[in-house]
């Protein structure tokens, strides 16, 4: 496993991070989740990402229970706060009250004394930004969290936040967790350049586009049994299993490029994200230990300029008439 610094911070994280969205504490059996996490640790993955809202807090319990068997200094645990965790008017968002209370709740579920990276799961326009940043700074000073970051913040929101942290001498934003993959490169326009300038590490989620870039979904064919797209519990972000054949055809044309590199399609997609030095780690999801093993092998693989150019040519290729293929 290869490791990178989290932006300009001294913290070193594995190039591949194991996430728990839509899997642990929910769709994946507890024993399988444990095996996946343990296999990741054995492969040198030291970075694990979860959130208070995942499976209503159950994901944190599962991840924490497994990781507690290892020395605390040997892994980096990241979790998040923002989404509703109750019915009350203060049970959501990025107010000082909600951030501090949810940090304590996450620590209790995780069974840990501190969180390595605590992230604002979204931007909260209803709360003064200074209040949010000061709450995270307070937790850093308390030692309950070591670093804090954000997820899905725009370039403008990040720029405003970094200005405030400098003016008020607050702990800096360490990371940003956006969606980024071969099929969604939106952050390259504004967010990624800003993170580069400010030294904010990118830890992108959905690097395999919810499994589309694994190559398991074939144009014109039924969805594989047991796949995320075929599972009503997990396919809400995959158009309920109604996949765009135009995308599938484009993905299929990446397969020979991956084979020439000696990689699986998943490994190619992860290595493509990691070609960017601003990307500190890519967050994978895994419901099987074999998926962890395959994806972990993407770490440390540099793609040649010729390969990158071939990928660009496929991505720029026009394929007309989108058609959906589903279960």
Residues annotated as catalytic (active site), given as ranges? 54
- Residue labelled with tokens 């190559």: 215
Write the burial class of residue 150 (CB in 10 Å: 0-12 exposed, 13-18 middle, 19+ buried).
Answer: buried
| Nearest residue to 273 via CA among 174, 172, 150, 182 | 182
Select from 3, 5, 2, 8 the least CA-distant residue to 195. Answer: 8
CB contact set of 162 (below 8 Å; sequence gap of 6+): 172, 173, 198, 200
Euclidean distance between CA atoms 252 and 173, whole angstroms = 38
Contact by Cβ (8 Å): 279, 217 = no
Per-residue CA distances from 114 to 81, 121, 139, 173 (Å): 15, 18, 10, 18
Are the C-beta atoms of residues 145 and 115 closer than 8 Å to each other? yes
Which residue stretches of 261-327 are H helix?
A: 265-274, 289-296, 305-316
Token digits of residue 119: 């992230």
Contact predicate 2/280, CB 8 Å: no
Please give the C-alpha separations between residue 232 and each of 141, 199, 213, 241, 264, in angstroms, as whole numbers.
Answer: 43, 39, 20, 8, 27
Q: In angstroms, how far is the first alpha carbon of the chain from the final one?
A: 37
**Residue 34, SS3?**
helix
């Amino acid at each position: 496993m290869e490791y990178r610094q989290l932006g300009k911070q001294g913290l070193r994280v594995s190039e591949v991070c194991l996430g728990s969205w839509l899997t642990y504490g929910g769709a994946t059996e507890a024993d399988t989740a444990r095996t996946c996490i343990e296999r990741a640790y054995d492969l040198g993955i030291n970075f694990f990402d979860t959130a208070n809202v995942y499976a209503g807090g159950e994901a944190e319990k599962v991840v924490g229970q497994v990781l507690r068997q290892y020395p605390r200094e040997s892994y980096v645990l990241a979790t998040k706060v923002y989404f509703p965790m109750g019915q009350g008017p203060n049970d959501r968002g990025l107010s000082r009250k909600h951030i501090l209370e949810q940090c304590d709740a996450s620590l209790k579920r995780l069974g840990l004394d501190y969180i390595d990276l605590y992230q604002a799961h979204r931007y909260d326009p209803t709360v003064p930004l200074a209040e949010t940043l000061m709450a995270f700074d307070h937790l850093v000073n308390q030692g309950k969290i070591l670093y804090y970051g954000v997820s899905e913040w725009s370039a403008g929101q990040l720029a405003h936040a970094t200005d405030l942290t400098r003016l008020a001498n607050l702990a800096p934003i360490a990371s940003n967790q956006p969606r980024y993959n071969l099929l969604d490169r939106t952050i390259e326009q504004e967010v990624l350049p800003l993170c580069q300038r400010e030294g904010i590490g990118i830890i992108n989620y959905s690097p395999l586009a919810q499994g589309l870039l694994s190559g398991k979904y074939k144009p014109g064919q039924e969805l594989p049994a047991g796949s995320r797209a075929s599972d009503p519990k997990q396919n809400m972000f995959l158009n309920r299993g109604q996949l765009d054949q135009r995308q599938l055809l484009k993905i299929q044309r990446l397969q020979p490029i991956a084979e020439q590199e000696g990689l699986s399609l998943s490994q190619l997609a992860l290595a493509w994200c990691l070609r960017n030095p601003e990307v500190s780690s890519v967050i994978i999801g895994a419901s099987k230990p074999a998926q962890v093993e395959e994806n972990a092998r993407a770490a440390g693989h540099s793609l040649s300029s010729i390969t990158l150019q071939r990928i660009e040519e496929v991505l720029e290729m026009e394929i007309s008439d989108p058609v959906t293929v589903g279960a």
